[in-house]
Every structure is written in C-alpha cells, then in structure tokens.
Amino acid sequence: MNSFTTPVITIDGPSGVGKGTIAQYLTCKTGYHLLDSGAIYRALAFGAAKNQLALDDIAGLSKLAESLPVEFKATSILYAGEDVTSKVRTEEVAGVASQVAVIPEVRAALLQRQKAFSQAPGLIADGRDMGSVVFPNAEVKLFLTASAEVRAERRVKQLKNQGVDANITQITQDIKERDERDLNRSASPLKPAEDAIIIDTSDLDVNQVCQKAERLLWDKGILK
C-alpha cells in the first residue's frame, strides 16, 4: 500500500453467510468507513416498488439507480429522508434486490456511488462483487462461504431471536434461489476474486470468524 491510497478491505460471499457481522466487527477494530452494498440494492428494490416500476423496466430502474435517494446515517438506511431500515431488511425486499441486481445497466449505474465510499482512513466493503469488480485493488479480500442449509439455519435462529416465526424449508429455498441468480448472472456474478482469501464458515461460530478475519488484518499490517 502506498501512502496515497485509501486501504480497502472487501468481504464478499453469498446471502446469509455472516458478512454483515464480520464487516461491523472489522469496522470497529479499524475505525474505517463501512459500505453495505447489499443495502443499496435493497434500497433500489424498495424504490422500484414505491415508484411502481416493473422489474423488466431496465431504463426506469437504471434511471432510478443513477439518482437513488438513499443515505446511510449511523446504523439507519434512509430513502428520500424516510427511515426504511426495517422495511428493506425483509426477505421479500432481498428477493427483489437480487432480481434488479442482475441488470448490467443497474450495476453500472451504481458503480461510482460505491467507489465513492473509499475515503480516509479506509473502507470495509461488504457485498458480492466488492473484491472482483468494485475494488479490484483492495488491500485484503475475504470471501466467506457456507452451505445453503447452514446459512438458512442461522437465518431462522436470527429471526426467532427477533420474535419472527420462520419456516426453514422456505428460507432454504429463498437462499438457494438468490444464490442461483447471484452465481449465474452475466454482470458481476458472485465469485471470489483471484486473490481472495476464502474462509469456509460452516463449522465456525461468528466469534471464530471475527477472530480469523482480525488476525489476517494484523498479519497484513493493517492493524498495528
């Protein structure tokens, strides 16, 4: 890293693998900024519904993506000034987000906006294509994996803790459908960057993954 570049750490992987928790943890450890790129796609899905845009309206969705009125304030997501944090966190919005995310024009329209998050003292970027497309020169690239079944179990546990009743069969199916779209789209499919460090989290709890990721940042000289 030369002294003029802002260090970026990317965390990619499929839905429900725990990227968000690891990203939050590393953000606290480093004091860097955080980009939750999935929240941008979720906000676009929310905006599409609000503006009654069809999911095959490529021109309309790209136009909305170009000037998406989304803002991040601490842990809240604002859409045109309205706090939509819980509204965009639903499985339904996630499903629509993964459908708008397959459109190359939409991804292109959101690229600059994501790159702009790279500011001093550094950035932790969480998503699907952070290391492969948005920040190809990132200092450290992590790619988390776990089977769809393990991810669905974790999601159900998380929803139960929030008092939400969840059906494991349905959640597993939703996760597999999203995986299918994320893996097989032509624009920025979900895949590790060539220089990514792959962490299989199937047999690790969240603390163990946090420790592993933190150790890597010490080894790379990012934490001192």
Q: How far is the CB of 191 from ligand C5P (least distance, A)?
A: 12
Contacts of 181 (CB under 8 A, 6+ apart): 98, 99, 101, 102
Q: Which is nearer to ligand C5P, 30 or 99 (CB)?
A: 99
Find the residue with minimal CB distance to ligand C5P: 38
Provide the binding-site residues for ligand C5P, judged by CB under 6 A.
15, 37-39, 41-42, 94, 97-98, 101, 127-129, 178, 182
Contact status, residue 151 vs residue 94, Cβ threshold 8 Å: no
Q: How far is the CB of 18 from ligand C5P (least distance, A)?
A: 11
Q: How far is the CB of 107 from ligand C5P (least distance, A)?
A: 7
Q: Which is nearer to ligand C5P, 20 or 60 (CB)?
A: 20
Angle, in degrees to the nearest 10, between helices 37-50 and 91-100:
90
Contact status, residue 178 vs residue 95, Cβ threshold 8 Å: yes
Q: Which is nearer to ligand C5P, 128 or 154 (CB)?
A: 128
- Tokens (6 digits) for 52: 């009654």
Q: Which is nearer to ligand C5P, 89 or 215 (CB)?
A: 89
Q: Which is nearer to ligand C5P, 7 or 13 (CB)?
A: 13
Cis peptide before 104 (omega within 30 of 0): no
Q: Hey, is 193 helix, strand or coil?
A: coil
Q: How far is the CB of 110 from ligand C5P (least distance, A)?
A: 9
Angle, in degrees to the nearest 10, between helices 148-161 and 168-184:
130
